[in-house]
Amino acid sequence: MFTLNQLSGFVAVAEELHYGRAAERLRMTQPPLSRQIQLLERELRVQLFDRSGRAVRLTPAGRAFLQDARRLLHEAENATLAVRRVPAGEAGAVRTGFTATSAYGVLGGVLETARQRLPHVEVVLRELVSRDQLEMLSSGALDLGLLRPPVTRPELDSRQVLREPLLAALPEGHELAAGSEPLRPEDLDGADVVMYSPTEARYFHELLVSLFRGAHVTPRYTQHVSQVHTVLALVRAGLGAGLVPSTARVLRFEGVVLRPVELPDPEPVELHLAWRRGNDNPALWALLDLLRDDEEPSATL
């Protein structure tokens, strides 16, 4: 098989049409360059240069091979540059899990940071509930997660990237839909409420149970579902009220009124980034460093 040095020698001679100038360009002497060309011709089993006269000329086979030789050298150069980016975290892939609601806001900031500042890093996305993200982060199947707390596994690290309020979602015409003042949890006492699943949406389920218990409120749960957009769809269908994070505003469900809720903690909904401490993916650490730098009051995160 021919070598990259042989290809470089061939391209130099083909472009210069002079062995001496080609050797000077490659910073070598002429005899070893001639030897490279001979070995390349022997490997290809064709004559690349016409040696019948004093001038150096390409044969038809040489002209045809020149384009491929340039392409191969270009690809080899690109491959070298790409592999050198990997240890610096400037290339590679970051396998990223995200919850459905994180896609409404924070995920966009993560992707934009990667696109703008790590253009050679691919962010491979997996939509997963927080519980599944924790499992895959621990096993190494994911590099990064956008998930709900708590993150208590000793092998994982995390940091909060978002806090936001809860909003009451009400069908148009509901007795609580009118008015400008914030609602209180007590307003939902005895009311029909679309609730989150205790298994598939454990974070929101436990958050609302704690909220209602603290306010001594007992709603009537009409359905248990796993996704915020499903809550909104069932609210619109008239199955009751719902409580959703404020990022749900971007969904703009027709027939659903969103009203603020007055709570002891005005921003009880948290979203965290999580990763495994022993992860050896340089691109993960490069992205985390950039996201940390972006965590300013005016930033997306």
Render 212-242 in DSSP notation, one character per residue.
HHHTT---EEEEEES-HHHHHHHHHTTS-BE
Q: What is the mean pLDDT of the chain?
A: 92
Whether residue 165 is predicted with pLDDT greater than 90 in this model: the reply is: yes
> All domains of the chain, ordered by start, with CATH?
4-85 (1.10.10.10), 92-162+270-294 (3.40.190.10), 166-266 (3.40.190.10)
Whether residue 262 is predicted with pLDDT greater than 80 in this model: the reply is: yes
Mean pLDDT of 224-243: 96
Q: What is the pLDDT of residue 76?
A: 86
Residues 6+ apart with CB under 8 A from 300: 105, 106, 108, 109, 112, 113, 294
Q: pTM above 0.75? A: no
In degrees, rounded to 5, the angle at the alpha carbon of residue 240 between the alpha carbons of residues 102 and 181 is: 75
Q: What is the pLDDT of residue 192?
A: 97
Q: How confident is the model at residue 52 (pLDDT cuts 50, 70, 90)?
A: confident
Mean pLDDT of 68-79: 87
